[in-house]
Amino acid sequence: MNDKDLQNLVETVSLESFGKPFLHQAYFNARLRTTGGRYMLSSHHIEINKKYFEQLGMDELIGIIKHELCHYHLHLEGRGYKHRDQDFRLLLKKVGAPRFCSSLPDRPMRSQSKKVLIYACKECNQIYRRRRAVDTKRYVCGKCKGKLVLEKELTKD
């Protein structure tokens, strides 16, 4: 699928799902990494991440197009086009568009940190659990301003 095919698809989906024409441009943007698509407020163009089509197929692509067209049509009508607006959420439901796109299979999920660092204050024995290391030369106990020391490092299974 190329940009011309995408433009035709967006125009078709707009007429079928919204009953309104799409009068601007839709194209693939290879630089999009964390999102399926985006609606540009200033130019009214729609950019789509081609990886979503390649890895998840036509149904996912149409869902992303519907989502971006919700932003497009509401913005042009002067209604609430942002994710938190009720107009936007109602239109998403009406046309069957997803609120969020699926995650890509080739992009691994960021896993929770497996280690836990236990720090203790030398003065008052206050315990601090952290996932990231604390600079003990720079930071002190929040309770008594005493010196912090690394007690132990735990790893979760």
The mean of the pLDDT values for the chain is: 91
Catalytic status, residue 123 = no
Position 19, amino acid: G
40 versus 105: which is more confidently predicted? 40
Q: How far apart are CA 146 and CA 81, in angstroms?
A: 51
Query: For the whole model, what pTM was predicted?
Result: 0.68
- Output the pLDDT for position 19: 95
Residue 97 binned pLDDT confidence (cut-offs 50, 70, 90)? very high
Q: How far apart are CA 9 and CA 157, in angstroms?
A: 47
Q: Which of 51, 66, 47, 32 is nearest to 104 (CA)?
A: 51
pLDDT tens-digit profile of 138-155? Answer: 999 999 999 999 999 988
**DSSP 8-state code for residue 30:** T
Second CATH level (architecture) for the domain 3-95: 2-Layer Sandwich (3.30)
Give backbone dihedrals phi and psi of 127, rounded to 5 degrees, phi first.
Answer: -100, 140
Tokens 């942002």, residue? 82
Q: Where are the domains of the chain?
A: 3-95, 115-155
Q: Which one is catalytic: 47, 54, 68, 77?
A: 68
Q: How far apart are CA 21 and CA 110, in angstroms?
A: 39
